[in-house]
């Protein structure tokens, strides 16, 4: 796993924990999320607090444990919190996010993220069938990524923390042939 040194606190940060590269005075500056948020707090005059939880483990509906790392990042219009699942030192599997205004209750935002993870891990989008194989429920929650070596041209669907190729996802959709659908991206 690659690592980068934060220019401000000088800590070595694994890429899975997150680093922000920002341009200042025609030079690239690498900052951990805490240092980036401190700089943004000074510039914007908004108080972006450090996280109370940086990682946690939670079980899904099958009883499998998932390890998440939380990232908090200020933006020009508010705060974004993301919980990324880490598998074999890489960001893979589940990913959840919530956002709020700068003046939101940041502790409540962290609780909202935990609740969203708990709810997401509890919902089963895949029907497990030993005879027919994996199938989709009528409502599916997941994330769109891109397949490696396709230059971002072929989608990869991440559902219940598991990667499904576009072809496999299409075969799973065929159980609903002739049905109507509504695609909602959030």
In which band, very low, low, confident or very high, does the pLDDT at 133 lie, cut at 50, 70 and 90? low
* 183/155: higher pLDDT: 155
- Answer yes or no: are the C-beta atoms of 172 and 135 closer than 8 Å: yes
pLDDT exceeds cutoff 80 at 47: yes
Determine the Cα–Cα distance for residues 80 and 74; give it in Å rounded to an integer: 6
How high is the mean pLDDT of the chain?
86
pLDDT value at residue 132: 61
pLDDT value at residue 23: 63
Out of 81-95, 98-112, 136-150, the most confident range is: 98-112
Q: Is 71 helix (H, G, I), strand (E, B) or coil?
A: strand
Mean local confidence (pLDDT), 23-36: 77
CA-based nearest residue to 127, from 161, 160, 158, 96: 160
Handedness of CA 34, 39, 44, 47 (dihedral sign): positive
CA-based nearest residue to 93, from 44, 43, 143, 51: 143
Mean local confidence (pLDDT), 157-180: 90
Using alpha carbons only, what angle is made at residue 107 by residues 85 and 36, rounded to the nearest 5 degrees?
Answer: 65
Buried b (16+ CB within 10 A) or exposed e, 86-121: beeeebbbbbbebbeebeeebeebbebbbeebeebb
pLDDT value at residue 18: 66
Using alpha carbons only, what angle is made at residue 121 by residues 33 and 79, rounded to the nearest 5 degrees?
Answer: 25
CA 139 to chain centre: 20
CA-based nearest residue to 119, from 100, 94, 144: 94
- Answer yes or no: are the C-beta atoms of 109 and 79 closer than 8 Å: yes
Helix, strand, coil percentages in the chain from 3-state DSSP, rounded to 5: 20, 40, 40
pLDDT exceeds cutoff 70 at 24: no
Domain residue spans of the chain:
3-122, 126-176
């Amino acid at each position: 796993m690659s690592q980068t040194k934060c220019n401000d606190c000088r800590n070595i940060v694994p890429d899975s924990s997150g680093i922000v590269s920002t341009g200042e005075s025609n030079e690239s500056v690498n900052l951990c999320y805490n240092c980036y948020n401190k700089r943004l707090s000074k510039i914007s005059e908004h108080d972006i607090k450090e996280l109370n939880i940086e990682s946690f483990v939670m079980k899904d509906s099958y009883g499998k444990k998932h390890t998440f790392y939380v990232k908090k990042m200020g933006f020009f219009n508010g705060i974004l919190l993301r919980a990324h699942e880490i598998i074999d030192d890489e960001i893979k599997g589940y990913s959840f996010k919530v956002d709020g205004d700068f003046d939101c209750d940041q502790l409540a935002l962290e609780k909202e993220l935990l609740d969203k993870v708990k709810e997401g891990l509890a919902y089963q989008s895949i029907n497990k069938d030993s005879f027919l194989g994996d199938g989709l429920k009528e409502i599916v929650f997941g994330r769109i990524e891109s397949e490696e070596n396709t230059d971002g041209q072929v989608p990869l669907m991440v559902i219940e923390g598991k990667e499904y190729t576009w072809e496999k996802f299409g075969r799973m959709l065929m159980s609903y042939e002739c049905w109507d659908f509504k695609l909602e991206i959030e």
